Amino acid sequence: MKRLFEYYLLMSRWLLAPFLVMMTLCLAALMVNAAKKTLTVVAILAKDESDHVTLEILNIIDVTLTGALLVLVSVSVYENFVSRVSKTEFSGWPDWMGSIDFSQLKLKLLSTIVAISAIKLLEAFMDLSETSDRDLYFYMGIHLTFVASTVAFALGERLSSSHGSHGEATSQSETYNP
C-alpha cells in the first residue's frame, strides 16, 4: 500500500504539465500583445508624437519582462518538479536554466516583479496629468513594499545559505576556535 501511494504521489507531478502548457499559451498571447504595442510605437513615430513613445516603449518592456518571467518559471518548475531535461539532446539549452533552485526562482520572480513595478511607477510619473496624487502615493507604497520584501527575502536567503541545516556555520572562518 505504501509503495502504491508513493508511486501515485511521484506520478502526480505530471499534473503540472498542463499548467506549463497554459503558461506557454500565455507567452504566445503576450507576444501578440507586444506586437500590437510595437505597431502603436510605429504609428506614434509616424505622427511625430514622440512624447508618448517612451510610455509605449515602457509598455513593451513590461510585456517582455512578463514573458521572460513566464519562461523562467515554466522551465524552473519543469526542471525542479516534473523531469530533468537532457542538455545533450538540446544543444541550445543554457547551462543556467537547469541550475535554478526553488529559492533562486523566488528571488528572480521577486526581482522581476520589482522591475515591473518600477516601470509602472515610471509610467505614472511620466503621465502626471492623468495620475492623481493619491494613486501616485499608492503606486509608490506598493513599489516600496515589493522592494523591501525582495531585500528581506534576499537577506534571509543569504543568511540561511551561510549556515548549515541547523544553523551551524559552514565555513572554517565562521567557526569558533579558542
Shared domain for 80 and 106, answered yes or no, is no
In-domain check, residue 82: yes
Structural domain count, the chain: 2
Pair 53, 45: CB distance under 8 Å = yes
Chain Cα centroid distance, residue 169: 31
Shared domain for 120 and 74, answered yes or no, is no
In-domain check, residue 53: yes
In-domain check, residue 29: yes
In-domain check, residue 33: yes
Neighbours of 141 (CB within 10 A): 10
In-domain check, residue 10: no
Predicted local confidence at residue 93, as pLDDT: 72
Domain that includes residue 126, residue range? 101-164
In-domain check, residue 116: yes
Q: Which of 86, 116, 132 is where one domain is finished?
A: 86
Shared domain for 111 and 157, answered yes or no, is yes
Distance CA 37, CA 76 (A): 28
Predicted local confidence at residue 64, as pLDDT: 92
User: Crossing angle of helices 133-161/102-126, nearest 10°?
Assistant: 160
In-domain check, residue 152: yes
Which residue positions in the chain have pLDDT lower than 50? 166-178
In-domain check, residue 12: no
Predicted local confidence at residue 164, as pLDDT: 60
Shared domain for 33 and 79, answered yes or no, is yes
C-alpha dist (Å) from residue 159 to 81, 147, 155, 164: 25, 18, 6, 10
